Amino acid sequence: MATRAELLIKGGQIVTAAHGEYPARGKAMQKLEVLHGGWVACAGERIIAVGTPAEVQQEVELTPETQVIDAESKVVTPGLVDPHTHLVFGGSREDEFYLRARGADYMEIMAAGGGILSSVRATRAASLDELVDAGRQRLSWMLRQGVTTVECKSGYGLDLETELKQLEAVRILQGQQPVELVPTFLGAHAWPPEYQGDQEGYLKFLLDTVLPAVKEQGIAEYVDVFTEKGVFSVEQSRRIFQRAQELGFKLRIHADEMHTLGGAELAAEMGMASADHLLMVSDEGIEALASSEVVPVLLPGTAFSLRKPYAPARKMLEAGLPLALATDFNPGSCPTANLTLVMSLACLYMGMTPEEVFNAVTINAAHALGRSDRVGSLEPGKQADLVIFAVDDYKKVPYYIGVNLVETVVKAGRVVVSN
């Protein structure tokens, strides 16, 4: 007997990654499946049918109880996935925004004791409840933009207690609101004030104390390192990643953001899930990524905000790489929670097409978080995470820059935003 549909969405344009191997790589990123006048049926947390009205009616049972959403002349896409954010932090850094607007350099502000260290002071001072409240507000911004899965990094504690407090805030937030959260430990985000002049001491503390404690608590899925000149060298990063891998963590990296350091090569060497930023990636780095399974996560909002050159997306696509896009939402280099704005920036400044950017924020972003089997496309069996945009063509989503076109968001089969 056919499964009863609890929710039926009548498109409109049903837009999703082309069926096939995930992630979409290189040329395949230009393909998007667009079903005009299609329907999507859901039951419980899952999608149970996608197709023409006739196909869906044949496959599922529609009853008077089925909730119907009319999305005719609208666009229906998978819930968007943001695979790189620093969601949980105390305070904010609008003072630095003034400085940067007048030309101050992000890394110079950090070297002078501001930047990340300013957020470390505020995060250490914040209570768990304050972090949870701030995080919940930011997640509501994201959800209203159609984002249903978000990666969240720690890295504003740089001591055991505060790193765990941030990750605990993520765990609490998971139970308080609908966005699915993917926790990442980023204890190697900066050198803490207590260890100035004793880098070896902090590395030992991370390897011997903090990483095992984070593992023990089962509170993070990934380990990330800010591999950058003046922060963690490639050699220091490799040691942290090796220990993390031994403990069973999956890996992601801040790679080649301000300088060409070889973070991309390290990601390929260690089989990381993602290599993020890549503004300054070398040709060798691109080659190394091309012979790996690493997903490059590009963050054009950061290049925009820091007025830096954009990552060479077209070169990477020509090399056959599977690009994802993320906001990099954080209090310093990129205080935007708007993933659709990032899609516009990717089109305008990295030469990506609307088809490529949709793949980058859905199936490829899901793959970068190890979730492409569950989310990131509209297919029977996948979680019912969907967005309805109030435009008649998906190309208009990146085209209307910075305008929130989201009308409805469905998370795991439940309507969670209705504008």
Residues that bind Zn ion (CB under 5 A): 328
226 touches, from Zn ion, ligand IZC, none (C-beta below 5 to 8 Å by class):
ligand IZC
What residues from 50 to 109 belong to the interface with ligand IZC (CB under 6 A)?
A: 86
What residues from 222 to 241 belong to the interface with ligand IZC (CB under 6 A)?
A: 226
Q: Encoding tokens for residue 295?
A: 């997903």
Exactly one of 25, 254, 367, 371 binds ligand IZC (CB under 6 A); which one?
254
Q: With contacts defined by CB under 6 A, name the span among 52-60, 235-243, 327-335, 395-403 that binds ligand IZC.
A: 327-335
301 touches, from ligand IZC, Zn ion, none (C-beta below 5 to 8 Å by class):
none
Sole residue written with tokens 């945009």: 389
Cβ 115 to ligand IZC shortest distance, Å: 6
Exactly one of 18, 116, 152, 303 binds ligand IZC (CB under 6 A); which one?
116
**333 part of the interface to ligand IZC, by CB under 6 A:** yes
Cβ 120 to ligand IZC shortest distance, Å: 9
For residue 331, how far is the Cα from the chain centroid?
16
**331 part of the interface to ligand IZC, by CB under 6 A:** yes
Binding mask 160-189 for ligand IZC (x = CB under 6 A): ------------------------------
**332 part of the interface to ligand IZC, by CB under 6 A:** yes
Q: Encoding tokens for residue 85?
A: 């954010």
Cβ 62 to ligand IZC shortest distance, Å: 48
For residue 396, count CB atoms less than 10 angstroms from its CB and return exposed for 0-12, middle for 13-18, buried for 19 or more: middle
Which CB, 237 or 359, lies closer to ligand IZC? 237
Exactly one of 13, 16, 119, 372 binds ligand IZC (CB under 6 A); which one?
119
331 touches, from Zn ion, ligand IZC, none (C-beta below 5 to 8 Å by class):
ligand IZC
Under 8 Å between Cβ of 295 and 322: yes
- List contacts with ligand IZC (CB under 6 A): 86, 115-116, 119, 226, 254, 330-333
